[in-house]
Structure 1
């Protein structure tokens, strides 16, 4: 009887979730159609006109307000399903079941704990791996609260604790799976330019241009830049003749009309020469219109995820956290790197030995190829790879790198062997770098090492490039898992690498390792 009630509850919650999804989808389709059919307002882009979409500014806050509630409904449904499955499992094991009224509170308690920890608060591009620790710890805490209630009740048999253990195991699997499904569906719609929030940018320089470019390249942020508002025409970098990639909608005094014209839901302030009083007024106006507002701080390259806001009276201060690559945390990282590299090399030894044999048979020459690279503290080491190319011939054309070309890929004559092409396409040629990790020259995760001649050049050309040498070079890195491989921007790679260093944690290393498989299969852009 108890199990039947639990299944009915779970099915009822699932039906409610499905209804909520259909209603939300209908609302979104209606809003999207309304916006798409009303593209009549004109905007100026460096003297040119372009179409923008008018919308009712008073309704802005209603468009995406359903997302947190849908996420909570999904967690509530999967939590209820976990109760039903866990209790079915307990019944099959002939265990005593806790009272139904106590089980009823498990899923709501789980949702409440997730809400208290900010899981339903809007965050830019929060991935499944970002949410997983919060979900699992909240699930465990909800199970502990239920178990505590059973222990403190003297009239209940002790065997019911085993039932709660089964419930927790089911919830620890089903709730994250539900969350993964939700994030996957949401990102799918984002990538197809659906459900994204129209976003206005305040600013006219390189930082504003960088914000626009990254929002366009990474739709998973859930924001589509629709216009620039600033008291000066946008330069979009240093080229004053280069038109902005999105419309210029006027000065800050025109912000209200720009909001109404575009249906903007978000505002990003990315540096401006406008007076602070006018900027504050613009932010207040955006809040009055129900918009979400983000501000790029002036010294943004020094602020990491561990930074937080303090106050002196009513004056906000950003407490800037510092990462110490010489601290005990990195010492623990280096020890774990060597242990994991040794275990990994042992596990893949059949593949490793097979590749060694294939390289030997592919063409004359050594099995391994060592190339000088720069690692921690600017020290040079030999970075190992499986040889993927035949020995050069006198007839091969010499390679000359163009001034605007990034190093990497196939340089000059294509001398790759058949097995070499396969290894490079799957990054298996990098496997010998596990030996570099065991020797202490590299880490599993860190900035990718560069050749000495390029390091000298990039130290001159790129701001903070040398900061990446504070830590050991890595087999994989934060930049690589975000598609910055091959002939991609060195400046962008350095920025991502420095972000990794300033925000390093063991969980971030695990996240990067988990993302590496997908990044290897995804071609560099």
Structure 2
């Protein structure tokens, strides 16, 4: 597992390794053993489960007959397997360094499993459980450090069509194939614009590569997987179908959003009152800022935030220019700058979540004036309203705050990637990266 391009995103790891494609002039590269599941997972289980058992047996000679040890071993195995599955899944998303999610992922799975053990009133060995969790984290951190530079991903690119500019993406070596009869050595996959009008020789080359066990991918799929954006120069019937989010997860997400908001209302109320008082003391005006925004399926709603600007300079806040926040905006107060930097100004949007107007995670809702302007300037902008808007989202953790049309087009590509890959896994990645953003303050204005 490395922190560079993730071949698991395309399924490279599933193809047979080391199969020569002599007829096509390329070879499927061999993956290092330490990058394989059959090495990483058994090694992790042996380290996290076996070592604490050996230590216990060295001290007490026989520990397995005890119920508390047996319960701990079973729980630790379940937690470790879940942790590894989530860790690999999260690391497959673009721009995510897998090493960042080792500690929070295993803390989550071990915490949930042993919480279940506690509520079921099953006896367990605390030392064994703590040792298993610690060794799990250390094992995968160690693997990341060792394998970081073991493999550089190399793709063979078939010329023709929309393949220009792939080198700008980075995170891989792009070897453009000069001729169907020229070898470019070992590659992870062959990349081609499968919609281009390729010659019969190139089509034969692509077919031979696939038959030899080398994955062949459409260039648009690769761009999406490495950049985290969906190109939207046009929407075909197939694209529209792939951008329809799962309705079942939408309903589950709404229930989870409401429950989380309901649980947080009571503990956050004293904090919100204290912040509101500080805002009122610094500058005259209401503590809350209200603004009409475009929401789910194009419905207009009132969004609530803590006020971060002076009231006298917020006249016409529904206008397009007033709705834009620029870098170093003079309207922002001293307290407001800190609230924006930490994202605490978003706390009142719990009200919107409880009312079903917003989610914790989703495309950021824009001010009504901005949304109408973007719709007039950008094709398909309105399609982002197919999911419930959120307090944080994929575009926010990748791009930060933007307002100009050129930047909004890129933001829209991030939003479409989120809609296309709408899943709890991507939401977990966004949660982890939002916490990082809150700590560092990156992207705030």
Distance 1:337 1:507 in 2: 16
Would you say 1:179 and 2:140 are equivalent positions?
A: yes
Query: Aligned equivalents of 1:137 and 1:387: distance in 2?
Result: 34
1:503 correspondence with 2:426: no
Structure of higher CA gyration radius: 1
Question: What is the CA–CA distance in structure 2 between the aligned matches of 1:59 and 1:499, rounded to whole Å?
Answer: 31
Aligned-partner SS, 1:466: helix
Conservation of the 8 A alpha-carbon contact between 1:79 and 1:174: no
Aligned in 2, Cα 1:357/1:202: closer, same or farther, shift over 3 Å?
Answer: farther
Show the 5 A alignment for 1:31-46: none
Distance across 2 between alignment mates of 1:492 and 1:354: 37
Quote the offset at 1:476 in angstroms.
Answer: 0.9
Q: Structure 2 length normalisation: TM-score? A: 0.65
Residue of structure 2 in register with 1:80 after alignment? 46
- 2:356 maps to 440
Distance 2:103 2:394 in 1: 19
Contact 2:26 2:187 in 1 (8 A): no
CA contact (8 A) 2:361 2:392 kept: yes
Give yes or no for contact 1:481–1:515 (8 Å, CA) kept in 2.
Answer: yes
- Is the counterpart of residue 224 in structure 1 residue 173 in structure 2? yes
In the TM superposition, 1:474-489 aligns within 5 A as 474-487=390-403, 489=407
Q: Note if contact 2:245-2:419 (Cα within 8 Å) is conserved in structure 1.
A: no
Residues 266, 292 of structure 1: 8 Å contact kept: yes
Name the CA distance, whole Å, in 1 between partners of 2:264 and 2:164. 42
* Structure 1 range deviating more: 82-91 or 342-351: 82-91
Gaps of 5+ in 2: 1-24, 111-121, 225-237
Alpha carbons of structure 1 residues 181 and 96: separation in structure 2 relative to 1, 3 Å: closer
- The match for 2:5 is none
Q: 2:29 aligns with which of 58, 61, 75?
A: 61
Distance 1:489 1:184 in 2: 35
How far apart are residue 368 of structure 1 and its match? 1.1
Aligned residue number for residue 468 of structure 1: 384
What TM-score does the superposition give when structure 1 sets the normalisation length? 0.56
1:278-297 aligned at under 5 Å gives the runs 278-283=201-206, 293-296=216-219
Give the 5 Å matches for 1:62-211.
62=30, 64-69=31-36, 72-82=38-48, 83-86=50-53, 88=55, 96-97=63-64, 127=98, 171=132, 174-175=135-136, 177-183=138-144, 195-202=151-158, 208-209=163-164, 211=166
Equivalent residue of 2:284, what SS? coil
Q: Structure 1 pair 498/322, CA: closer, same or farther in 2 (3 Å)?
A: closer
Q: Deviations over 1:240-295 (max 9, x none)?
A: xxxxxxxxxx4x44753xx25xx755432245634264334333565799966433
Q: CA deviation at 1:473?
A: 0.8
User: Structure 1 pair 409/501, CA: closer, same or farther in 2 (3 Å)?
Assistant: same
Does 1:389 pair with 2:357?
A: no
RMSD between aligned alpha carbons? Answer: 5.1
Note closer, same or farther for the CA distance 1:124–1:282 as it changes in structure 2 (3 Å cut): farther
Q: What is the alpha-carbon distance in structure 1 between the residues aligned to residue 87 and residue 327 of structure 2?
A: 46
1:513 corresponds to which of 409, 418, 431: 431
Name the SS of the counterpart of 2:359 in structure 1: strand
Structure 2 Cα separation of the partners of residues 334 and 292 of structure 1 = 38
Three-state SS of the structure 2 residue aligned to 1:208 is coil
Q: 1:455 to 1:420 in 2, by over 3 A?
A: same
- Is the alpha carbon distance of 1:87 and 1:195 closer, same or farther for their aligned partners in structure 2, counting shifts above 3 Å? closer
Corresponding residue number in structure 2 for 1:335:
255
Q: Secondary structure at the match of 1:432?
A: helix
**Are the aligned partners of 2:107 and 2:133 in contact in 1 as well (CA < 8 Å)?**
yes
Listed as ranges, the gaps of 5+ residues in structure 1 are: 1-56, 140-160, 230-249, 302-316, 402-406
Give secondary structure in 1 for the equivalent of 2:371: helix
| Preserved CA contact (<8 Å) 1:448 1:474 | yes
| Counterpart residue number, 1:523 | 442
Q: Confirm or deny: 8 A CA contact 1:202 1:267 kept in the other structure.
A: yes
Q: Give the 3 Å change call, closer, same or farther, for CA 461–513 of structure 1 in structure 2.
A: same
Encode CA deviations 1:12-56: one digit per residue, 9 max, x unaligned. Answer: xxxxxxxxxxxxxxxxxxxxxxxxxxxxxxxxxxxxxxxxxxxxx
2:368 matches 1:452: yes
Aligned CA distance change for structure 1 residues 485 and 266 (closer, same or farther; 3 Å): farther
